[in-house]
């Protein structure tokens, strides 16, 4: 009876050790997978940070270009105003010149 109990105990002990080894191997696999997952997450986080940094640079460049475009448009409007003013002055001078010529012809 004791021999049967001892054999049964030894068998259960072998099964427990075998199960423990399986669990330890499984734990190692899970740990490696977790470490790989953490590494990928860190890589993705760095990539996201880089994308956000580049996005901020592009946004600033666009804003700067928009400001530059607005400045050029304002300068263009000013140039047109100045050109129209000069054209009006030229027309006024032409009218005066014609009046002076007309006066000289009448004399």
pLDDT of 64-89, one tens digit each?
999 999 999 999 999 999 999 999 99
User: Given this model, what pLDDT does residue 104 score?
Assistant: 86
pLDDT reading at 33 higher than 80? yes
pLDDT (average), residues 50-55: 98
pLDDT (average), residues 25-47: 98
In Å, how far from its chain's centre is CA 54? 5
Question: pLDDT tens digits for 86-105?
Answer: 999 999 999 999 999 998 88
User: Given this model, what pLDDT does residue 3 score?
Assistant: 87
Which pair of tokens denotes residue 85? 């003013």
pLDDT (average), residues 12-40: 97
Say what the pTM is.
0.56
User: What are the Cα distances from residue 90, in Å, to 64, 80, 96, 98, 104?
Assistant: 38, 15, 10, 12, 21
Backbone CA torsion sign across 67, 68, 71, 72: negative
């Amino acid at each position: 009876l004791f021999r049967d109990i001892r054999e049964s105990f030894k068998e259960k002990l072998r099964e427990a050790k075998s199960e423990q080894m399986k669990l330890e191997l499984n734990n190692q696999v899970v740990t490696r997978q977790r470490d790989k997952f953490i590494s990928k997450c860190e890589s993705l986080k760095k990539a996201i940070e880089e994308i956000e940094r580049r996005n901020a640079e592009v946004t600033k460049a666009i804003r700067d270009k928009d400001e530059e475009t607005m400045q050029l448009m304002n300068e263009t409007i000013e140039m047109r105003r100045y050109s129209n003013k000069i054209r009006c002055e030229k027309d006024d001078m032409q009218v005066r010149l014609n009046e002076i010529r007309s006066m000289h012809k009448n004399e």
